[in-house]
Amino acid sequence: MSVEKVITRFAPSPTGFVHLGNIRTALFNVLLAHKHGGDFLLRIEDTDAERSKDEFTAALMQDMRWLGLTWEQGPDDDSGKPGAYHQSQRQHLYQTHYDSLQKRGKVYPCFCSAQRLAILRKTQLSAGQPPRYDGMCAHLSQSEVETKLAEGQKPSLRFRVPQGEEITFTDLVRGEQHFSSDDIGDFIIRRGDGTPAFFFTNAIDDALMGVTHVLRGDDHLTNTPRQLMLLRALAMREPEYGHISLIVGNDGAPLSKRHGSFGIREMREQGYLPAAIVNYLSRLGHYYADNSFMSVDQLAKQFDSKNLGRAPAHFDITQLQHWQKEALSAADDDTVWQWLGKAVHQQVPADKKGNFIRAVKPNISMPADGLDWATVFFSDQMIVEDDAKNAIDKAGKEFFEIAASVFAKEADFKTAIKSIGKQTGKKGKQLFWPVRAALTGKVHGPEMSDLALLLGSDKMVARCKRVG
């Protein structure tokens, strides 16, 4: 028996820059497809001509590639220019299916004005009823339709929802779902201006493209019975759906600008590493027994849609920072160097690059931290922090006179510090803190022997003299 190839998809509308919330949806679809050796498909939902911009598609593709989320099927022209995987280029296919629904008597033109629909909605809501279309145009005669068309009216196209049907499906995340068709009014699948409803185009394209699984935000859960009715009316294949819970901030409200900057571009500019974002997001609303830092491939192997949670996923910045540290420690020197950026490159001499990276890597999370250390080592603008000042004061003048004279003679740091200890009678924290404080202005930081290599004896002597 041949097992069907798993095909998942991400269907963003290019009306803005991609953020943590939608990229997590993309990621889960990548992980699910790759777990089964299947295809992940990227399809651009650019049916809203006014709001869709090629530059947002280009940016999205760049952001996804940066994160390591690549697609087996989708646009390959990175300019963002519309092609085969853009819905704006697939209108003829939607038309075929409108026609097919028409032939089967499953749709009808609706001439109700926006104003009438707004009043209807208001009246229903104030009577405590769920708002839905009242079927005003459901039974217009052919001649009534023709007259209205002749008057130049532009109808929308409504799907005729069957009465008394139960629509059931098994959601990959939420389990059994039941909807009654009687709660769903006849709905619009094409607007008066000819633009298709997004849930129509997505249902059609999922079927045409052989999509087997759709993981998406639970804000789309109520679209699913509509999409299933459409697919069943057209005898097209139904994908399995899984609705993932939204990401919320610590106040329980959906993650938004109010909680911080979660645009992928902004996070990249702040210095987050792609592997940190990927490791964090794959665990945000999905349980992994394995807490180790993983590649996208490893995350895919251990992904299981059964481990997707139903409860809202709480965004936790400390978790993101944890994965940032992990990602940094896993990164090679070249990656770290590029990540540190121009400002650091300008300060660190070429022959100290390797030493600098080794020294600071365990002590930083962001490029700005790296810049702090570059300034400490390679400029004279060292800032002495309060606890460093205390350690220096406590050690006293004589301590630093001794330290300066030892560093002037002894190049090997271990031997030098031993000698300072012997001569001053200090050991442990009493010995290391003041030395560290004088050399860096801080009481914590890189290994002392790495510090010494970076500073060199002239600077160490000068800094001890300065505080002595």
- Closer residue to ligand GLU in complex, CB, 202/282: 202
Q: What is the largest CA-CA distance in the chain?
A: 109
Select from 366, 368, 389, 367 the least CA-distant residue to 440: 389
Return the number of the residue (11 or 357) whose C-beta is nearest ligand GLU.
11
Show contacts with ligand GLU in window 163-202 (CB under 6 A). Answer: 198, 202
Does 11 engage in binding with ligand GLU (CB under 6 A)? yes
What is the spatial distance between Cα 404 and Cα 463, in angstroms, rounded to a whole number?
Answer: 8
Token pair of 144, please? Answer: 């009534």
The residue among 213 and 283 lying less far from ligand GLU, judged by its C-beta, is 213
Piece of the chain touching ligand GLU by CB under 6 A; list 61-69, 215-223, 270-278, 432-440: 215-223
Count of residues engaged in binding ligand GLU, rule: CB under 6 A:
10
Query: Considering beta carbons, is residue 22 or 73 the nearer one to ligand GLU?
Result: 22
Question: In the complex, what is the shortest distance from the CB of residue 15 to ligand GLU, in angstroms, rounded to a whole number?
Answer: 9
Is 45 a residue that touches ligand GLU (CB under 6 A)?
yes
CB 401, CB 343: distance < 8 Å = no
- Residue closer to ligand GLU (CB basis): 15 or 295: 15
Q: Could you tell me the smallest distance in angstroms from the CB atom of residue 72 to ligand GLU?
A: 18
The total of other beta-carbon atoms located within 10 Å of residue 372's CB is: 18
CB of 216 to ligand GLU, least distance (A): 4
Place of tokens 């819970």: 245
Amino acid letter, 223: N
Under the criterion CB under 6 A, does residue 450 sit at the interface with ligand GLU? no
Q: Are 12 and 60 in contact (CB under 8 A)?
A: yes
Are the C-beta atoms of residues 77 and 43 closer than 8 Å to each other? no
Give yes or no for residue 52 binding ligand GLU (CB under 6 A): no
**What is the smallest separation between the CB atom of 13 and ligand GLU, expressed in angstroms?**
4
| Residue 188 DSSP symbol | E
331, 339 contact by CB (below 8 A): yes
455 contacts: CB under 8 Å, gap ≥ 6: 377, 439, 463
Q: Which of 34, 97, 216, 436 binds ligand GLU (CB under 6 A)?
A: 216
Q: Which stretch binds ligand GLU (CB under 6 A): 10-18, 310-318, 414-422, 431-439?
A: 10-18
Residue recorded with tokens 């939607």:
94
Binding range to ligand GLU, per CB under 6 A, among 9-17, 65-73, 272-280, 400-408: 9-17
Distance CA 339, CA 362 (A): 15
- Residue nearest ligand GLU by beta-carbon distance: 216
Residue from 36, 53, 148, 220 touching ligand GLU (CB under 6 A): that is 220
Q: Pick from 412, 376, 305, 424: which is nearest to 29 by CA?
A: 305
72-80, 214-222, 254-262, 359-367 -> range binding ligand GLU (CB under 6 A): 214-222
Kindly list the residues in this chain that would bind ligand GLU in the complex (CB under 6 A): 11-13, 22, 45, 198, 202, 216-217, 220
